[in-house]
Amino acid sequence: MTTVTSPLAGRAIGLAAVPDPVFSGAMVGPGTAIDPVREPSEAVSPVDGVIVSLHAHAFVVVDEQGHGVLTHLGIDTVQLNGEGFELLVNKGDTVQRGQGIVRWNPAAVEAAGKSAVCPVVALEATAEALSDLRDEGDVKAGDSLFAWN
């Protein structure tokens, strides 16, 4: 079992509340979403593992069980072309849970006309594979979001 923790401080809102049908419909996979605090911060790794995909606005960490966890920083933020995002690691790096991956500012994302909501998704998983899913309430970076069985 893998415990997936929050990459950000904010409020858990669940995937259904994400303003993007691909995420809200769980087409990418099941999980939850965080409405982050509106201050510059670091998005941290939700699991121990290897960075297999790394973009300014999104990253995937695969743990030793082969579970890939996607953290997407905001919605439609790919359109910002990396502006306002700073990568702190490289693709292929081994990272620890809680290690900073991307520095960003959710308030600047909103000022650019994008949603700051951050889906945290279990890639190639079924909803049944997840338990203890957190989809409401305040969370700190490192708080448990769900268990992947």
> Domain 2-148 has what CATH class?
mainly beta
* Closest to 92 (Cα-Cα) out of 47, 56, 59: 59
For residue 26, what is the DSSP state? T
User: pLDDT tens digit string along 118-147?
Assistant: 999 999 999 999 999 999 999 999 999 999
Query: Domain residues of the chain, as ranges?
Result: 2-148
Beta strand 68-72 pairing with 118-122: antiparallel
Given the residues 55, 57, 67, 72, the one annotated as active site: 72
Order of strands across the sheet with 31-36? 94-95, 49-55, 58-62, 68-72, 118-122, 31-36, 10-12, 138-139
CA-based nearest residue to 16, from 126, 128, 140, 119:
119
pLDDT in tens, 68-121: 999 999 999 999 999 999 999 999 999 999 999 999 999 999 999 999 999 999
Partner residues linked to 73 by β-bridges: none
Residue 72 annotated to the active site:
yes
Q: pLDDT band for position 17 (50/70/90)?
A: very high
Please provide residue 36's backbone torsions phi and psi, each rounded to the nearest 5 degrees.
-75, 155
- Is the distance from CB of 8 to CB of 86 less than 8 angstroms? no
